[in-house]
Structure 1
Amino acid sequence: MVNGDDLQPQPTDREIETLDEFDLRIVETGGKLDGFRLQSVDLTSRTDTLIATDTSGAVFLGCPMETDALAKVRADGALVFPPVPNLPFDPYRGLLYSPDQLFDGLADHGYDATPDARAYAWFQRTRSDGDVFASMLRSVHDDAISDALDELLVGARVVGVMGGHAMARGTDAYAGAARLGRALTRTGLTVATGGGPGAMEAANLGAYAAPHPDDMLDEALELLAETPSFVPSVSDWAQAAFDVRARWPKGDESVGVPTWFYGHEPPNAFAAHIAKYFANATREDGLLARCNAGVIFLPGAAGTVQEIFDNATPNYYESRGEPTPMVLVDREHWTETLPTWPLLSSLARRRPMEARIALVDSVDDAPAALAAL
């Protein structure tokens, strides 16, 4: 299984993303921050340190600081991007989201009061008004998320699990996707999903359940089945997941990569690290590109079909290394309901990717098929 200590953000030589990193760098450099980039670090308690530090050549991205420290930093010639007031998100954040951060306030005030819901409401207001400042903030935020995701996944073997958002809790399909996430995590892979409900939540739940006894997942599935969907109440749906986490703490870690473009679909609370984007295209391409151990596609509709060919395209044109494995689950679905497999296999026969794709009947066959590719 994945050791939770292994899947942690890896600091880069020139990025400072926490107050502890700031203190460490001050000691290591003898009070010189030339060339460093500080992201969303609250420096209001470090005024004396900043005044005594050479910050020339540093860049401060959304770092609160006291007036005297700000004047000193600017006098040094540092570049300062101040925090943006009245935003429901931090465009300069240095780390990915956690479920607790996105759902803060859920228990007391309901989903509509959470940072996740407020960010979606802001996105709805600004996405079509032509405000260049709002579009710039979205782009800065998404780039910061990509940077944080890359830092988190350094050295990780990432397997994607894709599938439809409509897969309801309490169904056999949901239970199968959860078993898949658990099995993959127990082999040492890091599970990454689209971060939403349905098949995505199930796979993240399975990853969370990996260090627990097998009957934990069975019991969790029964509890979650009492709230099968995020419709009509996102609050009840999300709270059920947090109740499972509270009953069985210390689950294993996985990654969710959702988007506010589909903000009516809330993120799930079982992914320990959530890379949430405003731009869906950036999110889709980035998620698939980081699945270096392959992707498993569960039954889905248009979105999943799109992901299959988004993943197949770079595999088809791969010329410097090996294509990543692709496993499609449910033969009837992918050959008759949505006959994607015939086209995919026809493409594959023209390229080395032919030996890296598989079609299996059952979700329980998927881990072995992935390992064999």
Structure 2
Amino acid sequence: MQTMPAHAAHHDDREIETLEEFDATVPARGTLAGFRVQGVDLTDRTRELLATDTAGAVFLGCRMREDAAAKVRADGALVFPPVPDLPFDPYRGLVYSPDELFENLADGYEATPDARAYAWFQQTKADGDIFASMLRAIHDDAVSDALDELLRGARVVGVMGGHAMARGTEEYAGAARLGRELARAGFTVATGGGPGAMEAANLGAYAAPYDDEMLTESLGILGKAPRFTPSVSEWARAAFEVRDRWPKGGPSVGIPTWFYGHEPPNAFAGHIAKYFANATREDGLLARSNAGVVFLPGAAGTVQEIFDNATPNYYESRGEPTPMVLVNRAHWTEKLPAWPLLRALARERSMETRIALVDRIEEAAGALKRLGG
């Protein structure tokens, strides 16, 4: 089963993104000169800041006492202070967790940081405020940096599919089994991070360390709240009921967006890279799926993802083409006939041997392996 690479082992050794890293670095190095400290609350580390050289350091969104801030500025450090009254941290050093985004869910989804960030996005987007657009850009860049650090060295398989796939259906159960099989085969499962097929694949990866009975029981619990409409709160609470009952789930990644604010993130992706810019999110998800992508039945968004992924494969702009597996022959040849066009594009290109169409979801993992995933 895939083990996510340890975060601290991969980022630049001059980056400090947690208080634990700060506490380990100061005595070991004896200096913070040239370091980048990102989104760490340093209000209780005034003594260390006053006693340590910080020349050339950059502090991004770090809370600190005024005397410490004055001292590090005098050293020649750059200090970008936290922005007050924001429902998110634009300088964050790590991706999100479900617990973080769904904090205060007991008071209703509207009270969560996830819902509050979307409300802020809607308000500032309507205002056309340049300061807000700058904060969104900084946030999304910080999330991309954190995601790259998280996934370095991982074999990532993207699982794409529509948000309309309801809990309690055989299609949802099949997508969950696919996620579980991929995780057990050593892949890191990455999805668009939302409901439906995306949640099912993340659930499967979460269930990978447990026996088959756990997944069966989880599907039963989730089936009581089949959709995120009309109540996101009820839908999310069912997921946390599963997580509370089986707290040691396997890791996977969700990459959702506040652009589709009506669509909440799912709670089974242990690592959530949530973006304001959907274009950044879409391209980043596909670009990081270095071991291939499985496309489950979906609508416009999934069709877009098929050809967003096909384009760099066609031109080999990211190197050797990565496998693409489309699931459900009738869907992709009749209802939305993306497969004939994809096959025509691939003809006599190196990607021709890296695409496949299968009838059943149970065939997807095997097809991915045959294509070299």
Scaled to the shorter chain, the TM-score interval is: over 0.9
1:3 equivalent to 2:3? Answer yes
Map 1:53-202; keep pairs closer than 5 Å: 53-107=52-106, 109-202=107-200
Quote the residue 2:235 is aligned against: 237
Is the 1:16–1:36 Cα contact (8 Å) retained in structure 2? yes
Partner Cα distance (1:262, 1:77) in 2? 42
Partner Cα distance (1:35, 1:27) in 2? 16
Partner Cα distance (2:36, 2:233) in 1? 38
Is the 1:193–1:204 Cα contact (8 Å) retained in structure 2? yes
Displacement after TM superposition at 1:7 (Å): 5.3
Partner Cα distance (1:231, 1:248) in 2? 25
Partner Cα distance (1:8, 1:33) in 2? 20
Aligned residue for 2:326, secondary structure, equals strand
Quote the residue 2:17 is aligned against: 17
Per-residue CA deviations over 1:251-288 (Å, capped at 9, x if unaligned) read: 00000000000011000000000000000000000000
Displacement after TM superposition at 1:128 (Å): 2.7
Displacement after TM superposition at 1:11 (Å): 3.1
Partner Cα distance (1:225, 1:191) in 2? 22
Partner Cα distance (1:232, 1:111) in 2? 12
The one-letter code of the counterpart of 1:20 is: E
TM-score by length of 2: 0.98
The one-letter code of the counterpart of 1:236 is: E
Once structures 1 and 2 are overlaid, which stretch shifts more, 66-75 or 7-16?
A: 7-16
Displacement after TM superposition at 1:28 (Å): 2.6
TM-score by length of 1: 0.98
Aligned residue for 1:34, secondary structure, equals coil
Aligned residue for 1:128, secondary structure, equals helix
Partner Cα distance (1:307, 1:110) in 2? 32
Partner Cα distance (1:106, 1:214) in 2? 29
The alpha-carbon distance between structure 1 residues 335 and 366, as it changes in their structure 2 partners (threshold 3 A), is: same
Aligned residue for 2:126, secondary structure, equals coil
Is the 2:312–2:318 Cα contact (8 Å) retained in structure 1? no
The one-letter code of the counterpart of 1:70 is: A
The alpha-carbon distance between structure 1 residues 320 and 168, as it changes in their structure 2 partners (threshold 3 A), is: closer
Partner Cα distance (2:317, 2:249) in 1? 39
Per-residue CA deviations over 1:28-73 (Å, capped at 9, x if unaligned) read: 322x222211101111111011001111100000000011101101
Per-residue CA deviations over 1:199-232 (Å, capped at 9, x if unaligned) read: 0000000000000001110111011001000101
Displacement after TM superposition at 1:134 (Å): 0.2
Return 5+ residue gaps in structure 2 as ranges. Answer: none
* Runs of 4 or more consecutive aligned structure 1 residues displaced over 4 Å after TM superposition: none
Displacement after TM superposition at 1:88 (Å): 0.2
- State how many pairs are aligned: 370
Per-residue CA deviations over 1:279-314 (Å, capped at 9, x if unaligned) read: 000000000000000000000000000000000000
Root-mean-square deviation (Å): 1.0
Partner Cα distance (2:319, 2:85) in 1? 47
Quote the residue 2:284 is aligned against: 286
Aligned residue for 1:72, secondary structure, equals helix
Aligned residue for 2:127, secondary structure, equals coil
Displacement after TM superposition at 1:248 (Å): 1.1
Quote the residue 1:42 is aligned against: 41
Partner Cα distance (2:176, 2:318) in 1? 34
The alpha-carbon distance between structure 1 residues 201 and 320, as it changes in their structure 2 partners (threshold 3 A), is: closer
The alpha-carbon distance between structure 1 residues 85 and 320, as it changes in their structure 2 partners (threshold 3 A), is: closer
Is the 1:7–1:153 Cα contact (8 Å) retained in structure 2? no
The one-letter code of the counterpart of 2:113 is: P
Quote the residue 1:219 is aligned against: 217
Calculate percent identity across the aligned residue pairs: 76
2:244 aligned to which of 243, 246, 254: 246
Partner Cα distance (1:52, 1:317) in 2? 54
The one-letter code of the counterpart of 1:24 is: A
Quote the residue 1:369 is aligned against: 367
Displacement after TM superposition at 1:8 (Å): 3.8
